[in-house]
Amino acid sequence: MMKLTRIQDHAIHALTAGIVGAETFDRVFAGIRFDEIEGTMLYAFARNEDVASDIEDGYSPLIAALASRVLGKQVDVVVVMPKVLQ
């Protein structure tokens, strides 16, 4: 398991915001933290269960592609959990 650096986390944020736009990013991704990678799975924490589900259902392929680019390794699955389970 590899913990992401703050720079890697912010880089994924920036690339995501650039694609989905500021309004969507602020509404959907506010407070998300891309935390660690294990194998090809990226783990992230969102502000609540509904947001975690929305991000996982609607943006996982996008996040996986962007994270692969930032991390320099293949990311196939994005698991987003609410912060309360952290």
pLDDT in tens, the chain (86 residues): 999 999 999 999 999 999 999 999 999 999 999 999 999 999 999 999 999 999 999 999 999 999 999 999 999 999 999 987 55
Query: How far is 54 from 73, CA to CA, in rounded Å?
Result: 25
Bridge partners, residue 37, by sequence? 2, 42
Question: What pLDDT, on a 0 to 100 scale, did the predictor assign at position 84?
Answer: 76
Which of 72, 71, 44 has its CA nearest to residue 60? 44
Q: What does pTM read for this prediction?
A: 0.92
15: Cα separation from own chain's centroid? 11
